[in-house]
Amino acid sequence: MRNPPSLIFAKIPPIWPSATAPVSIKDAEALAMKNIKGIEKVSYRNLEPQSAVDITASITAAEAKYGALGINEIKTYRNVKSGNLMSATIDANQNRTLRINTAKLGDVSTLDATLSRNVATDWAVSRNIKELTDHEVGHFLQYKGMTFKDAIAQDKDLGRFKAFGDGISRYGQTHGSEGLSEAFVLVTRGDSVGPLVTKGLKVFMGVEL
């Protein structure tokens, strides 16, 4: 007997055990629409339902702690050639969108191999889809309360802070915004970060440790 999404959700804490996976992508989309603050549109097309649930779980856990992230839309796309797995974008109309590349995330075993390789080579810290989402949540926290113009200006500023990624990941060293998003994955996981990054998380993301 299937539970309707609202019932599934009512019973489960922000991080859901896999046993409570909804039975379809449609259920997963309904869960996201119901539980992500202010969300207008969700498509998890071509993702496995558990992946979709994990993405929603990371977002709702973050919103419970830090308030609404202001995400307007979640959508999937497919680009085999792109190195992007997921991205958090803001556009000139202040729309915030989470974009998910199903060429990378559509198949969980392929994703596991990619993430294991990334972690083993110190390229990135995320070990699973929840942590990948946490990284993008980090970017939405950077945009929080900002206009597109301010977000762009801040991003440019953050370009000077590549040291945020030192000792965290090589991807984190490519740009200050990436360093902070990678650090956010670590602190969400319960790991500690150094004083410079702690300050960066507070100044640029409002995250107090």
Given the complex with Zn ion, which of 131 and 178 has the nearer CB atom?
178
Given the complex with Zn ion, which of 28 and 88 has the nearer CB atom?
88
* Distance in angstroms (rounded) separating the CA atoms of residues 41 and 28: 13
Contact between 82 and 48 (Cβ < 8 Å): no
Residue 99 DSSP class: E
Nearest alpha-carbon partner for 142 in 203, 72, 57: 203
Residue 161 DSSP class: -
* Distance in angstroms (rounded) separating the CA atoms of residues 71 and 94: 10
Burial class (CB in 10 A: 0-12, 13-18, 19+), 10: exposed
Given the complex with Zn ion, which of 34 and 99 has the nearer CB atom?
99
Task: Give the shortest CB-181-to-Zn ion separation in angstroms.
Answer: 5
Q: Which stretch binds Zn ion (CB under 5 A): 15-23, 33-41, 175-183, 187-195?
A: 175-183
Q: Which stretch binds Zn ion (CB under 5 A): 63-71, 121-129, 140-148, 178-186?
A: 178-186
Given the complex with Zn ion, which of 52 and 183 has the nearer CB atom?
183
Nearest alpha-carbon partner for 96 in 54, 38, 52: 38
Identify the residue among 181, 185, 193, 207 touching Zn ion (CB under 5 A).
Answer: 181
Task: Give the shortest CB-103-to-Zn ion separation in angstroms.
Answer: 18
Q: Which residue of the chain is nearest Zn ion when measured via CB?
A: 181
Task: Give the shortest CB-175-to-Zn ion separation in angstroms.
Answer: 8
Task: Give the shortest CB-139-to-Zn ion separation in angstroms.
Answer: 6
Q: Which stretch binds Zn ion (CB under 5 A): 141-149, 159-167, 170-178, 192-200?
A: 170-178
* Distance in angstroms (rounded) separating the CA atoms of residues 127 and 116: 7
Given the complex with Zn ion, which of 28 and 180 has the nearer CB atom?
180
Residue 4 DSSP class: P
Contact between 167 and 176 (Cβ < 8 Å): no
- Contact residues for Zn ion, defined by CB under 5 A: 178, 181
